């Protein structure tokens, strides 16, 4: 997939109970970077999940993929009420739902 001067590809995908883990690559000019995407699939519209076990599992696994606390974590949500951030500027890293 191309977006202006960026090329993006999917290297791998793991399916979990409520989310996917994908390894993606982005290429710009002669530089290629890989990153891991955690894609939660079962958040109900206009509601909250009946159990948070899989969300907590995903966050714990996400922290294992993070090399150190200086590596930023960016979370996108379609609702403006949900924000999860973390990285070097946040001590301790925030997890706000």
Cβ neighbours, 10 Å, residue 86: 20
Task: Name the burial class of residue 74, with classes exposed (0-12), middle (13-18) and buried (19+) by CB atoms within 10 angstroms of its CB.
Answer: exposed
Q: 3 has which bridge partners? A: 6
Where does 12-68 have alpha helices with state H? 53-65
Catalytic residues: 77
């Amino acid at each position: 997939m191309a977006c202006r001067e960026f090329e993006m590809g999917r290297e791998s995908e793991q399916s979990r109970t409520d989310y996917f883990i994908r390894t993606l690559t982005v290429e710009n000019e002669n530089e290629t970077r890989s990153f891991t995407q955690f894609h939660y699939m079962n958040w109900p519209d206009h509601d909250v999940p009946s159990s948070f076990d899989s969300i907590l599992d995903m966050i714990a696994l996400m922290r294992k993929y993070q090399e150190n606390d200086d590596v930023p974590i960016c979370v996108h949500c379609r609702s403006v009420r949900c924000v999860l951030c973390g990285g070097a500027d946040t001590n301790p890293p925030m997890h706000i739902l």
